[in-house]
Structure 1
Amino acid sequence: MLRRNGFTLVELMLSVAIGAAFLTSAITFMLTLGHSMYQIQQQLTLESELRLLTQTLTLQLSRAGYVARYHDTSTLVNQLALNGTLANIHVGHHPNAPQHSCVLFAYDKNKDGAISLASPSEHFGFRLNNKALEFRVAGKSCEASGWHDITDTRKTYVSAFEIKPKQAGQPAWVVTLTLQSAQQAGLTSSRTFLISATNAHPS
Structure 2
Amino acid sequence: MLIPRRSFGDQDGISLVELMVALAAGAIVLSGVVQLFSNQAASQAYSHHVIRLNQELRTLEEMMSRELRRAGFWGTTPDTSGFTIKNNPFWVSGYDLTISNITGGTANSCILFSYDLDQDGSLDTSSGNDERYGFRLATDGSGIGVVQMRRDSAGGTFSCGTAYGDTDWVDLTDPRNTHYTQVSFSLSECKLKLTAASVSTTCPDTNTINSGDPYLTKRQVTITLTGQLVSDSTISMSSTTEVWLRNDKLGVEP
**Fold in common (TM above 0.5):** yes
Instruction: Give 1:105 deviation, angstroms.
Output: 0.6
Which residue among 67, 92, 101 is the counterpart of 1:60?
Answer: 67
| Residue in 1 that maps onto 2:148 | 134
Report which stretch shifted further, 84-93 or 126-135.
Answer: 84-93
Which residue among 10, 26, 31 is the counterpart of 1:19?
Answer: 26
- 1:150 and 1:58 map into 2 onto residues whose CA distance is 14
Instruction: Give 1:81 deviation, angstroms.
Output: 5.2
Amino acid aligned to 1:188: S
Shift >4 Å, 4+ stretches: none
Report which stretch shifted further, 95-104 or 118-127.
Answer: 118-127
Amino acid aligned to 1:141: S
Alignment of 1:1-203 (within 5 A): 2-70=9-77, 73=81, 76=83, 80=87, 82-85=89-92, 88-118=96-126, 121-130=130-139, 131-137=145-151, 138=153, 140-144=158-162, 145-146=166-167, 147-167=169-189, 170-199=218-247
**Structure 1 unpaired stretches of 5+:** none
- 1:110 and 1:160 map into 2 onto residues whose CA distance is 33
Report which stretch shifted further, 24-33 or 57-66.
Answer: 24-33
- 1:136 and 1:151 map into 2 onto residues whose CA distance is 13
- 2:238 and 2:86 map into 1 onto residues whose CA distance is 40
Cα gap change, 1:200/1:142 in structure 2, threshold over 3 Å: closer, same or farther? farther
Question: 1:94-144 deviations in whole A, cap 9, x for unaligned?
Answer: 124210000111100011122224355311100001101001131542123
Tell whether the 8 Å contact from 1:64 to 1:200 is kept in structure 2 after alignment.
no
- 2:190 and 2:53 map into 1 onto residues whose CA distance is 33
Tell whether the 8 Å contact from 1:79 to 1:114 is kept in structure 2 after alignment.
no
**Structure 2 unpaired stretches of 5+:** 1-7, 140-144, 192-217, 250-254
Cα gap change, 1:78/1:195 in structure 2, threshold over 3 Å: closer, same or farther? closer
Cα gap change, 1:188/1:141 in structure 2, threshold over 3 Å: closer, same or farther? same
Question: 1:132-163 deviations in whole A, cap 9, x for unaligned?
Answer: 10011315421232211110011111111110
Aligned length: 200
Question: 1:14-33 deviations in whole A, cap 9, x for unaligned?
Answer: 11111111111111111111
Relative to the length of structure 2, the TM-score reads: 0.71
Amino acid aligned to 1:192: T
Bigger relative contact order (CA 8 A; separation at least 6): 1
Structure with max Cα Rg: 2
Amino acid aligned to 1:148: V
Report which stretch shifted further, 134-143 or 156-165.
Answer: 134-143
Tell whether the 8 Å contact from 1:65 to 1:107 is kept in structure 2 after alignment.
yes
Relative to the length of structure 1, the TM-score reads: 0.88
